[in-house]
Amino acid sequence: MSEHGSSPGSEPPGRRALQTLNFFMADMQAGVGPFLGVWLLAHGWQSGAIGTVMSCGGVAGVLMTTPAGAWVDATPHKRWLVAISGICTVLASAGILLSQSFWPVAISQVATAIAGASIVPAVAGITLGMFRQSGFNRQLGINQAYNHAGNAVGAGLSGLLGWMYGLPAVFWLAVAFGIVSIVSVLSIPPRAIDDRAARGMRESAGPGDRASGFSVLVSCKPLLVLAAALALFHLGNAAMLPLYGLAVVAARQGNPAALVGATIVVAQATMVLASLIAMRVAGTRGYWLVLLISFAALPVRGLVAASLIKSWGIFPVQILDGIGAGLQSVAVPGLVARILNGTGRINVGQGAVMTSQGIGAALSPAIGGWIAQTNGYPAAFLCLGALALGSLILWIRFAGTLSPASAKRP
């Protein structure tokens, strides 16, 4: 028998369902989120208010990701956690269609963030439980390639349907993707998921072995450095795409729905390739180099965005986004799993790192939105890119601290 519970050479049970889940879940999880900015702009909203409601959802996500990770560690029902969260996310997105007033939209964003907070650590936990540490990096790269490909397809269809039929068509597409996602995750056999491996318990220990205390989240220096670098990166990154879409639309350079769909398609198509490259580079050179390249891409992206507020500018701007986000989608959960291996706290660690990302991402739209409103879009892009330089400096400064966990082998 192999480590996955199947005979050598055979496909582990549930692997295809896991890959199908990753393909369809991104559009379910996001709902109408990527189109929210242009939708509200068309209903008379200003960029500052749009950034504020996005930040409301970001703050809710920040508050929920670490508890959600702890829940993922504790529960043996990870498949149902994904399914129920997906249902809640789709329902919350419907509220945006019913009202475009400030508080209903803000509440919808908060509900979406709360429901979606557990999906990423739950899917990472399911993957770790199915493939263990030895197979996690490779399967994570495959998962992310499927995820980004699904995101690109969903965004392309959303842009096309939004252009032809309006935002309600985007919502119904998210519902369809959600149904397939829920069926897929429930198709994974429960026996295929080792719950001890899924939370990062020591494989050689007995059933009575206990997980480390939650203090490991604040005492583990490599984890703290990673969290701080990601917070700075997302402080500059999160607002870049919605602001660039608003800038191009304000300059009358393209159709809003088609433009937003195109920006996502370009980035996600790049992420497919970047995630596969990250999988290979992490296996040969380790995670540190992968994340270094991802951090370096954002300041360059800010300069390009400030210089090219044109419809065709989405190509260089979003290719750079795809490089950074695609590399991180594999390297971040892989490195967290490596850092916390044996503690039994891998998924709460994933949630804690997502919290740090969320802090930066929650503040970014409000900061970027108000800078754009008072000083113009180019100034906002330059400021956001400058903020992200901190992640690059931090990563280089603590390279020695991170090197043991970032090695090419677990």
What's the pLDDT score for residue 373?
84
Q: What is the pLDDT of residues 33-57, one digit of tens each?
A: 666 777 787 777 887 788 788 778 7
What's the pLDDT score for residue 372?
85
Give 125's Cβ-side CA count (13 Å radius).
35
Give me the residues of the chain with pLDDT under 50, please.
Answer: 1-9
Domain ranges of the chain: 15-197+215-402
What's the pLDDT score for residue 33?
62
Segments in 31-166 forming alpha helices (H): 36-42, 47-74, 78-98, 102-116, 119-165
The H or E element that residue 213 is part of is none
Q: What percentage of the chain has pLDDT greater than the value 70?
A: 88
What's the pLDDT score for residue 3?
42
The one-letter code for the residue type at 10 is S
Report d(CA 104, CA 41) in Å as an integer: 16
Domain 15-197+215-402, CATH number (from 1.25.40.10, 1.20.1250.20, 3.40.47.10, 3.60.20.40): 1.20.1250.20
